[in-house]
Amino acid sequence: MIKISPSLLSADWMDLGKELERLHEWGADMVHCDVIDGLFAPNITFGMPMISALKRKSKLPLDVHLMIVEPERYIDKFISAGSDTIAFHPEASKKPHEVLEKIRSKGIKAGIALNPDVPVRVAEEFLGEIDYILLMGVFPGFGGQKFIPEVMDKIDESKQLIASRDIYVELDGGVTTENIVEMKKRGLDAAVAGNAVFAASDPAAAIVALKA
């Protein structure tokens, strides 16, 4: 069954403690944490202190997505803050292999994130160093964007690339209860959902529908 990782970008930031409790009650598998520095993507969210605070409250794994320039400058702190999985964009790093090694050396799952215009083949050189590929269904920065249809084929390409390796494919951006049906047919392993969960009239039912 596909895993669902609701994005806190779409949550009520004035009540994050309760939102974390609700996500557990609703049946989410992970909590997606979008860390944006305003340089790599046009938004600013939060950093290490927030990850640390979320870790103290969350009963679910923290699925951290670093949309920051030079993640090697901060990776040690994101690791110690309590991240359970960490994905970053290789083009934003001067030392991507070193970053991956640091993440995995602490028993944390490491991923490579690929923007819609970045080909899947970019992940090929990292296959021996990653636990997952995070495909972006939209350009990073803001929640509520519409899914870019061309990304659907990247699920197929990613599954072909990883072949029999112990690597999973996650997709972030524009996920709905409608388009996730096709994503699952193509073998998607995990999906990040923001508005599809938090803006739903019945978030628990929405998560059930996303997983079904």
Enumerate the known binding-site residues. 7, 32, 34, 65, 141-144, 172, 174
- Residues in the chain, overall count: 212
Kindly state the tokens that stand for 173: 């951006």
Side chain identity at 34, as an amino acid letter? Answer: D
Of 29, 34, 37, 131, the catalytic one is: 34
Structure tokens at 66: 């670093």
Question: Given 29, 37, 172, 189, which residue is catalytic?
Answer: 172
Apex 12 CA angle, 51 and 1, nearest 5? 70
Q: Are 81 and 108 in contact (CB under 8 A)?
A: no
Instruction: Examine the residue annotation and report whether 84 is marked as an active-site residue of this protein.
Output: no
DSSP label at 9?
A: G
Contact of 113 with 86, CB cutoff 8 Å: no
Give the annotated binding-site residues for a divalent metal cation: 32, 34, 65, 172
Q: Give the active site residues.
A: 34, 172
